[in-house]
């Protein structure tokens, strides 16, 4: 039996001002995040916008503060996003059914890129970086963990936990108090010389090269870091007392075709080193959609197969078939 799934309708805050009545939608969501949520034309054309590939069984709208030019560079930047703060905390703001965030990935990359020695020659202590220089590597029996700074990870974890607590406190300071806050983990990229069209990046590739980590260990090193981020997110979600109604979707468990090591363009399900292409984004979005709608509906989580199709913005809802 085949049911019809409606693509998430995405609005910017300015578009919300022009059409403030969202009552025709069953679910009304507020969203913000990094380039995985950006509406910038260059990003949407090159690598899919994850929001626009979400599909639901009932009409659903999201007001995304990432918009065309406001994608987050760091988790801490949520504090300086006036539209997001206003739409979440203002007493006159809508009561959202949930909040969607795409955060943490850029922070992880930035932490991995911290050098062992600053430009002026001062060493960076181990607790302020994620990677070990060659003279600090552990025993080969430790596998790729020998290259990783657990002291640095402890510092990074404190930063992530503090920022998650802060955004939950913002949620609970406004009309949407207690509503689910959804975050996704990240698919595991292959470190490779594949930067963005804007000439930014690559991201993990130069960091691993700078620390002289053997190329044969790059893929496993990437998996270690992204898996640790997923574990951190899920541990927070499991602590309902400190992180109430934090809902985490583990994207690392969605089968994604890896990019070829050493490739510099589109490869597998990847557009560049850290951004999925449309096929990869469809796979993540379809699985995350199931998770989000199950939480919103109060239903047990079920597994939905990946699908293909293009998302939509503005006035059209669109639809895509899904097996039921």
CATH of the domain at 12: 3.40.50
Task: Give the mean pLDDT of 224-229.
Answer: 98
| CB-based contact 193:272 (threshold 8 Å) | no
User: In this structure, is residue 144 part of a structural domain?
Assistant: no
Mean pLDDT of the chain: 88
**Total of domains in the chain:** 1
User: In this structure, is residue 140 part of a structural domain?
Assistant: no
| pLDDT at residue 314 is higher than 60 | no
Residue 320: the pLDDT is: 33
User: In this structure, is residue 142 part of a structural domain?
Assistant: no
User: In this structure, is residue 219 part of a structural domain?
Assistant: yes
Residue 40: the pLDDT is: 55
| pLDDT at residue 316 is higher than 50 | no
Query: Per residue in 41-78, pLDDT tens?
Result: 554 455 568 998 999 999 999 999 986 556 788 898 88
pTM (two decimals) = 0.88
User: In this structure, is residue 147 part of a structural domain?
Assistant: no
**Model confidence at 288, in pLDDT bands (50, 70, 90)?**
very high
| CB-based contact 270:259 (threshold 8 Å) | yes
User: In this structure, is residue 118 part of a structural domain?
Assistant: no
User: In this structure, is residue 120 part of a structural domain?
Assistant: no
Query: Per residue in 133-184, pLDDT tens?
Result: 999 999 999 999 999 999 999 999 999 999 999 999 999 999 999 999 999 9
Task: Give the mean pLDDT of 293-317.
Answer: 59
Supply the range of the domain harboring residue 298: 2-104+157-323
User: In this structure, is residue 111 part of a structural domain?
Assistant: no
How, if at all, do strands 55-56 and 181-184 pair?
A: unpaired
Task: Give the list of residues 6+ apart from residue 233 with CB closer than 8 angstroms, or none.
Answer: 104, 160, 183, 185, 248, 250
| pLDDT at residue 323 is higher than 60 | no
């Amino acid at each position: 039996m085949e049911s019809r799934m409606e693509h998430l309708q995405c609005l910017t805050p300015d578009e919300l001002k022009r059409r403030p009545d969202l009552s025709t939608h069953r679910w009304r969501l507020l969203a913000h995040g990094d380039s995985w949520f950006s509406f910038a034309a260059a990003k949407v054309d090159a690598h899919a916008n994850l929001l626009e590939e979400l599909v639901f069984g009932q009409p659903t709208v999201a007001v995304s503060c990432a918009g065309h030019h406001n994608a987050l560079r760091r988790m801490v930047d949520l504090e300086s996003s006036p539209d997001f703060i206003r739409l979440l905390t203002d007493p006159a703001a809508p009561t959202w059914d949930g909040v969607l965030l795409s955060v943490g990935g850029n922070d992880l990359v930035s932490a991995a890129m911290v050098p062992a020695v600053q430009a002026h020659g001062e060493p960076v202590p181990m607790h302020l970086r994620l990677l070990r220089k060659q003279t600090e590597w552990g025993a080969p029996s430790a596998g790729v963990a020998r290259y990783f700074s657990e002291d640095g990870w402890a510092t990074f974890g404190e930063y992530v936990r503090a920022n998650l607590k802060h955004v939950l406190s913002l949620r609970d300071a406004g009309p949407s108090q207690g509503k689910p806050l959804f975050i996704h983990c990240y698919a595991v990229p292959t470190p490779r010389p594949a930067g963005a069209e804007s000439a930014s990046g690559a991201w993990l590739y130069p960091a691993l090269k700078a620390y002289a980590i053997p190329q044969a260990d790059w893929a496993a090193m990437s998996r270690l870091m992204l898996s640790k981020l997923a574990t951190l997110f899920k541990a927070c979600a499991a602590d309902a007392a400190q992180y109430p109604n934090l809902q985490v979707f583990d994207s690392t468990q969605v089968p994604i075709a890896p990019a070829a090591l050493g490739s510099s363009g589109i490869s597998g399900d990847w557009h560049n080193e850290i951004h999925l292409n449309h096929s990869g984004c469809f796979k993540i979005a379809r699985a995350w959609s199931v998770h989000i709608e199950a939480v919103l509906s109060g239903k047990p989580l079920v597994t939905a197969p990946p699908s293909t199709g293009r998302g939509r913005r503005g006035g059209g809802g669109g639809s895509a078939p899904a097996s039921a």
